[in-house]
Amino acid sequence: MSTAASDVRRDTSEEWQEYYQRLGKKNTAALWEVLSEIVPVQPRRACVPAMWRYEEVRPLLLEAGRRITAREAERRVLILENPGSAGQSRTTQSLYAGLQLVMPGEQAATHRHVASALRFVMESDGGYTTVNGERITMQPGDCILTPSWTWHDHGNAGDKPVIWLDGLDIPIVNLFESSFFEHSPREMEPVTRPGAMVAYPYARSRETLEGLYRASAIDPCHGVKMPLANAATGGSTLPTIAAFLQILPAGFRGEPYRATDGTIYCAVEGHGCSRVDDATFCWKQHDVFVVPSWCAVRHQAESEAVLFSFSDRPAQKVLGLWREGQP
């Protein structure tokens, strides 16, 4: 706004306020008052960089296992809530993440929802999930999908707790006010075929990643990074969520990188540190951290490390929104 226009508004502030009040009574508003807020020059983030140390959150999750059953809770999960969006049940602006627990002998009943989900397994010796009749045994490091509106249940036939990282597009679904949820008339899904189409066994993914590591040049920002491609479509893991595995070689010192897809990381192997804007997170196995949209991230690893990550990249790409670059 020009100086002259600013002077006019300052000199007639009461008149402007009376005008704005009349606008409000007609359910209208002045764009010039909010334009810089709703169309910023660069992404304006509500979510902030954050980290959840597994050794600190796991005892709280196990305490929940003593306090409430899977049947009572529907799903016994501790949400990894972004401190910049407290009370909004989100980890990035568009994605939800949480740690889910199934105790020995428990079954989490069958339901379905519009939100798509992935499960990255941290601890399991007898855990399983069934998706539309496909029974999948859970092993540490596996990534298992629950596509939109598919019937699914979870169980634990072992004698130790089963824990995994949930990732869902709940905030996206709720943005469009298009959420639906339904309980199944059956408590558990009948198994009609072995699980294959909705699972990424870690042993197989790790072998593929290792092959890329031996054959590819090291990317200065990512080390060696590969997407988990959808077996049915060849595209992204889910329509709204992309998942990745990457190796950081021993001694890796990554260059800064940023993109508009806020990304949730989980350490799978090894240990290292990631600097996200002005915050530094030193992580080890099963720790989770988040890199919000357009934050610069630099990864480092003393010994070889593997990171799993997921983001809303495919949704942004299909809408023509996604950008990446180096600061």
pLDDT, tens only, 153-170: 999 999 999 999 999 999
What is the mean pLDDT of the segment spanning 135-150?
96
Q: Given 146, 172, 200, which residue is the final one in a domain?
A: 200
Given this model, what pLDDT does residue 239 score? 97
Are residues 79 and 185 both part of a single domain? Answer: yes
Are residues 54 and 178 both part of a single domain? Answer: yes
Asked if residue 195 has pLDDT above 90, the reply is: no
Asked if residue 267 has pLDDT above 70, the reply is: yes
Q: Looking at 91-223, which runs of residues are DSSP E strands? A: 96-102, 107-113, 117-123, 127-131, 134-137, 143-146, 152-156, 162-168, 181-183, 193-194, 199-200
What is the mean pLDDT of the segment spanning 296-325?
97
How much is the pTM? 0.94
Q: What is the CATH number of the domain that holds 255?
A: 2.60.120.10
Buried b (16+ CB within 10 A) or exposed e, 249-275: eeebebebbbbbbbbbbbbbbbebebb
Q: Mean pLDDT lowest for which of 128-137, 185-194, 305-314?
A: 185-194
Note whether residue 252 is domain-resident. Answer: yes
Residue 15's domain spans which residues? Answer: 3-38
Asked if residue 1 has pLDDT above 50, the reply is: no
Asked if residue 151 has pLDDT above 90, the reply is: yes
- What's the number of domains the chain is made of? 3
Given this model, what pLDDT does residue 187 score? 75
Banded pLDDT at 231 (limits 50, 70, 90):
confident
Instruction: Let me know: does 80 contact 91? Beta carbons within 8 Å.
Output: yes
Are residues 188 and 210 both part of a single domain? Answer: no
Given this model, what pLDDT does residue 6 score? 46
Are residues 133 and 248 both part of a single domain? Answer: no
Q: Which helix (H) or strand (E) holds 55?
A: helix 54-67
Note whether residue 45 is domain-resident. Answer: no
Q: Given 200, 232, 251, which residue is the final one in a domain?
A: 200
What is the mean pLDDT of the segment spanning 10-35?
89
DSSP at 223:
B
pLDDT tens-digit series, residues 118-138 = 999 999 999 999 999 999 999
Given this model, what pLDDT does residue 12 score? 63
pLDDT-above-90 percentage for the chain: 88
Q: Given 180, 200, 220, which residue is the final one in a domain?
A: 200
Note whether residue 43 is domain-resident. Answer: no
Asked if residue 10 has pLDDT above 60, the reply is: no
Using CB atoms within 10 Å of the CB of residue 227, give its burial: 0 to 12 exposed, 13 to 18 middle, 19+ buried.
middle
Are residues 192 and 290 both part of a single domain? Answer: no
Given this model, what pLDDT does residue 234 score? 87
Distance CA 190, CA 133 (A): 6
Note whether residue 111 is domain-resident. Answer: yes
pLDDT tens-digit series, residues 80-121 = 999 999 999 999 999 999 999 999 999 999 999 999 999 999
What is the mean pLDDT of the segment spanning 229-249?
94
Are residues 182 and 288 both part of a single domain? Answer: no
Distance CA 140, CA 76 (A): 19
Given this model, what pLDDT does residue 4 score? 45
Asked if residue 73 has pLDDT above 80, the reply is: yes
Given this model, what pLDDT does residue 186 score? 84
Query: Residue 229: CB partners within 8 Å, gap ≥ 6?
Result: 235, 236, 237
pLDDT, averaged across the chain = 94
What is the mean pLDDT of the segment spanning 259-270?
98
Q: Mean pLDDT lowest for which of 5-19, 118-132, 190-204?
A: 5-19
Are residues 135 and 77 both part of a single domain? Answer: yes
Q: Which helix (H) or strand (E) holds 310?
A: strand 305-311
